[in-house]
Amino acid sequence: MSETKKKVKKAATFSTERSKPNILVSGTPGVGKTTMCKKLCESVKTLKLINIGDFAKEHGCLDEWDDELQCHELNEDKVVDELEDIMTEGGVVVDHHATDFFPERWFDIVFVLRTDNTILYDRLTSRGYEGKKLENNIDCEIFQTILDESKESYKEEIVHELSSNNDSDIDSNVQRIVAWLDQWQKDNVS
Ligand code: DAT
């Protein structure tokens, strides 16, 4: 198939053509995305977990160091290009703290984890965050930046907010997603 035809095909691939759904798990750093995603993928062995930070490192998608944010800038276009074929297959859980640069068609559901500010503050300080970086992330959670960004980037009905304050929240969130996956299979795979 020519490159142009491939691109047209990719652009036309919507969720109904996937035999397994794709899930985006987002939220401010420290809310528990990685912890919850790992548990989810332990429960449902067929899911493929992609942590965008790790994926970007492995696939050379990091640009210059950003002194203010204290991290490398992410080359979002390259991440999208590198991930396209994997997402087309379906059955992927993406773990990332931003939602707005992924193609909307990639995801069947978006979960935004939320944590009380005092709990998040303790988690981030024990991770070594301080100064501007700590302040920016706490503000991000206070102003529900990721939730609003997700609702602007995807249909509101597929964006769900989940509490992530304690261990029982992790378990109930995993159960909820597993139940959603079961229902998706019943509704979409004959
Ligand atoms: P993220 O991937 O969103 O940056 P994480 O999964 O690395 O967050 O979690 C940050 C820390 O908080 C880690 O030490 C595990 C802990 N944690 C995460 N979710 C939690 C929860 N619901 N209850 C208690 N601790 C949690």
Which residues line ligand 1 at a C-beta cut-off of 6 Å? 27, 29-35, 123, 164-167, 169-170
| pLDDT value, residue 67 | 82
Spatial contact of 17 and 87, defined as CB atoms under 8 Å apart: no
Whole-model pTM: value is 0.92
Burial 132-156 (b: 16+ CB within 10 A, else e): ebbebbbebbeebbbbebbbebbee
Question: Quick one: which atom of ligand 1 is closest to the CA of 170?
Answer: 22
Spatial contact of 108 and 184, defined as CB atoms under 8 Å apart: yes
Q: Which CATH number fits domain 20-182: 1.10.3720.10, 3.40.50.300, 3.30.70.250, 3.40.50.150?
A: 3.40.50.300
Question: Quick one: which atom of ligand 1 is closest to the CA of 51?
Answer: 2
The DSSP bridge partners found for residue 160 are 111
Question: Quick one: which atom of ligand 1 is closest to the CA of 126?
Answer: 14
Instruction: State the distance from the centre of ligand 1 to the C-alpha of 32, rounded, in angstroms.
Output: 3
| pLDDT value, residue 2 | 46
SS3 assignment, position 48: strand
Which residue has the least CA distance to atom 5 on ligand 1?
Answer: 32
| pLDDT value, residue 71 | 84
Q: pLDDT tens digits, the chain, 190 residues: what are they?
A: 444 444 443 344 454 578 999 999 999 999 999 999 999 999 999 999 999 999 999 999 999 998 877 789 999 999 999 999 999 999 999 999 999 999 999 999 999 999 999 999 999 999 999 999 999 999 999 999 999 999 999 999 999 999 999 999 999 999 999 999 999 999 997 6
Instruction: State the distance from the centre of ligand 1 to the C-alpha of 3, rounded, in angstroms.
Output: 41
